[in-house]
Chains A and B, each alone.
Chain A
């Protein structure tokens, strides 16, 4: 705008949509007020007038965008409100800004979040119904032909939904930094969860001990995340930028700071950030969001500090540092050993996993059985049978990177499937970009 306003080194698009008229319930952490103070801080800072920072409204994602990723029971139309389509649409707008070079980087500061939403969706879990990052990733692949994508999830909770969706995809590197699942929802995200049979080593979990400080986060970033990213060479880096590792967050137990979040993003240098959790709405979010934005934009964030910030309060005990050091080595080992058991799995042709998924918001369980139909030429297709709430789905998913043979086989299987009452039979073909049910 003028030489009297600061200038962002990297042109950065912000999709700031606080949805002041939407909540899960009035006293829920995911309520109208959540981004009020963030909005107030960002506007008062004058970011709208900073040269090279652009503000965009979200668009509405379509059900087609949702069905490319999710298997919704009974259907996306029945499960979702406009707020979900807007939140997902916010990430699509961010993706479009970057892919069409309106901006170098984009940050979707939207709600509700999405990283606990798995491929099958029966309702709301962990404040999430649909996985807004995953919807964005498949949208980018569909519309812009991008193959290798890295998602680094820096929310305090394990990104179990994102992990689930890309578990068997060797073209999606998923790294989650989170508070150890033995101490926090959703109780998963351990080192041994390292990817499906065709993508072993492409899911990296870093369960950090409670009270991990900036020092611990810096360590995993420098020792694990950055070297793995360098080796994986993604075409795009996405940060699931949850901000509940903050020392003031009411529902977690970590000691991360606004400076820490900003530093992490400067190092990670993501193309797109998507807000996930973060419920210290007054003492953290205005500062963490601002710190992340300034870091993305390549601007000075040295003066972004929480009012009660006192660095002396957050020194990490040496034994914790040691523990994290060991964790780093093990995680590097997981990535180094990637693909080592693939041939063995291949011989079994079909590898089946079982899991029980808990939907905490309304409180019910889903039993799910995933069979990976493996192929020497591609990651293969997967067959998913899930049951919950007395509803069943039996679906075939063809990933974007499947071979023609696997695509054809999945289609045959779908066509042979006999419609039964109470069961949805679905074909999700990401190559042809179709979603069919019967």
Chain B
């Protein structure tokens, strides 16, 4: 059996699953200072009498969000090697930053080593400022991690925590790598406190099974790995919701997933039944990162959004002003419209009607309510359309890819959240699609957390001309022969991913997808001098098979 826990902003849900059967569920309200207490409380209610039947615990928590909001992040110092390019001064706005000299080029060739004297001077300055957690990032470290390793080796033992850029992600994009590394370093002590508190609680409950953390990409990683890469635990709420939708209403076609809440509606897209990912990563604390994440869009539109009638149209949200008038609030809300139409049974029918009259005194409440909900779903329709267009417009670099781009064509809507059922028919009509509102959707996030499986990704860059291969996620830098080929690369990367999976304690490795295969002849003079091979491998987000 698996326990899934989703800690949200105001309450936390937990479920106990036996296969895909919901055995128990529990909800508690949340005091964010004591995240581990909340989780332990839920576990007390959910953990089966026979502890040995519990296989794993999957956690989706707001640890990172809380740390950012409450300012509990560690002070971080960044050591950056920016090489030639854009002026890197802007990084200093994020946190104290020291720039190193030396450079690595776009092919991963070392142009000049950094000056060790400068590194020492930066380290001293950081110690003086009381910094104990540092990040080291060089431009193109995904192609060659040697400088990051050199700097780390020189500073070994001098700081409590060191994060290296290439270990966080094998993708390009230096600023994102810098900010991901910063975030990882900034979360180090918070995560370790959380881990200690949680482990203590688990021991107290006699729970010995492995504990996994949900990531933004809809997958999980073991707690031990999350300690090394705490940044991976960010933004797990939306991914819990998406995975929950998948668990409750699996799809095989393109589909739209909606999580309609009190203040916001989160939109996600499925392509052939699989959730769509961000091309690089999620934004955290105003910074773009390389933390792999499901593509979700959040719009300020929910059941409790404040509604105003303005110039012949409804202005819905993005702010809310307490609850609906039906429930004693002071401003009309979409929830009031749902109550008026008899689609939702909360609060006072009469107050809800008053809310509609407050909006349009001359119309019948039913008429206004219908118009309001039509306008509500129209906002969702426009946001979905914009999202589909944005995905279609993602840059492609080959003629074949440009000519064969496919626009997402949703065949169904899956909606969860409080107002979902009340909006079902409106959504279906506005988007001309069948709309499903699955049962048990109130614990979708916890179910999503429980059913999510391990995800791993790794990338390979091989340059046969230089005889060098890099798999940044493993800090791997090896020599290869001039005859190294794409099948060799696939085998190597498959081995790397299988190893990562085994290290994370999983007995069997799910199917590995290869992505973005690119094989390019390097021609110098008029002869081929080698090949550049790039390849990515992933275990895509999915549900544990039962």
Interface residues of A (CB under 8 A from B): 1-6, 16-22, 26-27, 31-33, 36-37, 39-41, 43-50, 55-58, 82-83, 86, 282, 286-287, 290, 294, 299-300, 302-307
List 23 interface pairs A-B (beta carbons < 8 Å), by A numbering.
Answer: A2-B286, A2-B287, A3-B286, A17-B397, A19-B399, A20-B397, A20-B398, A22-B399, A26-B523, A27-B526, A31-B521, A31-B523, A33-B532, A44-B85, A45-B175, A46-B175, A48-B280, A49-B173, A57-B393, A290-B85, A303-B82, A306-B84, A307-B111
Q: Which residues of B contact A4 (CB under 8 A)?
A: 90, 93-94, 175, 179, 286-288
Nearest chain B CB to A9 CB, angstrom units: 13
Known A-B contacts A40-B172, A57-B396; A303 and B86 likewise in contact (beta carbons under 8 Å): yes
Q: Is the CB–CB distance between B398 and A21 below 8 Å? A: yes
Q: Is the CB–CB distance between B287 and A20 below 8 Å? A: no
Q: Is the CB–CB distance between A305 and B84 below 8 Å? A: yes
Nearest chain A CB to B184 CB, angstrom units: 16
Which of A16, A33, A45, A57 is within 8 Å of B86, CB to CB? A45
Q: Is the CB–CB distance between A2 and B283 below 8 Å? A: yes
Q: Is the CB–CB distance between B395 and A32 below 8 Å? A: no
* B-side interface residues, number (CB < 8 Å): 46
CA distance A83 to B393 in the complex (A): 19
Q: Is the CB–CB distance between B286 and A46 below 8 Å? A: no
Which of A45, A55, A86 is within 8 Å of B399, CB to CB? A86
**Interfacial residues of chain B within 174-211, with CB under 8 A of chain A in the complex:** 174-176, 179
Q: Which residues of B contact A58 (CB under 8 A)?
A: 402
Q: Is the CB–CB distance between A46 and B176 below 8 Å? A: yes
Interface residues of B (CB under 8 A from A): 82, 84-88, 90, 93-94, 103, 105-107, 111, 139-140, 172-176, 179, 280, 283, 286-288, 393, 395-400, 402-403, 405, 518, 520-523, 526-528, 532
Q: Is the CB–CB distance between A3 and B518 below 8 Å? A: no
Known A-B contacts: A43-B173, A299-B87, A306-B84. Give 11 more (CB < 8 A). Answer: A3-B93, A4-B90, A17-B402, A20-B518, A27-B528, A33-B523, A37-B107, A40-B106, A44-B172, A82-B399, A304-B85
Nearest chain A CB to B238 CB, angstrom units: 19
Q: Is the CB–CB distance between A46 and B174 below 8 Å? A: yes
Q: Is the CB–CB distance between A27 and B286 below 8 Å? A: no
CA distance A6 to B85 in the complex (A): 13
Q: Indicate the member of B86, B140, B522, B527 with the most A CB atoms within 10 Å.
A: B86
Q: Is the CB–CB distance between A21 and B85 below 8 Å? A: no
CA distance A304 to B88 in the complex (A): 11
Q: Is the CB–CB distance between A36 and B520 below 8 Å? A: yes
CA distance A348 to B139 in the complex (A): 65
Q: Is the CB–CB distance between B523 and A27 below 8 Å? A: yes
Q: Is the CB–CB distance between B84 and A299 below 8 Å? A: no
> Chain A at the B interface: mostly helix, strand, loop or mixed?
loop
Pairs A-B, 8 closest by C-beta atoms: A46-B175, A300-B87, A2-B286, A21-B398, A40-B106, A307-B111, A44-B172, A4-B287
Q: Is the CB–CB distance between A44 and B397 below 8 Å? A: no
Q: Which residues of B contact A1 (CB under 8 A)?
A: 283, 288
Which of B90, B396, B400, B521 is within 8 Å of A6, CB to CB? B90
Known A-B contacts A4-B179, A27-B523, A46-B175; A82 and B403 likewise in contact (beta carbons under 8 Å): yes
Q: Which residues of A contact B286 (CB under 8 A)?
A: 2-4
Q: Is the CB–CB distance between A32 and B397 below 8 Å? A: no
Which of B107, B174, B396, B528 is within 8 Å of A45, CB to CB? B174
Q: Is the CB–CB distance between A46 and B398 below 8 Å? A: no
Known A-B contacts A36-B520, A40-B106; A57 and B287 likewise in contact (beta carbons under 8 Å): no
Q: Which residues of A contact B395 (CB under 8 A)?
A: 16, 48, 55, 57
Q: Is the CB–CB distance between B173 and A44 below 8 Å? A: yes
Q: Which residues of B contact A44 (CB under 8 A)?
A: 85, 106, 139-140, 172-174
Which of B94, B103, B106 is within 8 Å of A286, CB to CB? B106
Q: Which residues of B contact A32 (CB under 8 A)?
A: 520-521
Nearest chain A CB to B499 CB, angstrom units: 27
Nearest chain B CB to A70 CB, angstrom units: 21
Please name the residue on chain A nearest to B95 by beta carbon. A4
Q: Which residues of A contact B173 (CB under 8 A)?
A: 43-44, 46, 48-49
Known A-B contacts A18-B397, A21-B399, A307-B111; A33 and B84 likewise in contact (beta carbons under 8 Å): no
Please name the residue on chain B nearest to A293 by beta carbon. B86
Known A-B contacts A287-B84, A303-B84; A5 and B527 likewise in contact (beta carbons under 8 Å): no
CA distance A354 to B107 in the complex (A): 49
Q: Which residues of B contact A82 (CB under 8 A)?
A: 399, 403
CA distance A48 to B520 in the complex (A): 23
Q: Which residues of A contact B402 (CB under 8 A)?
A: 17, 57-58, 86
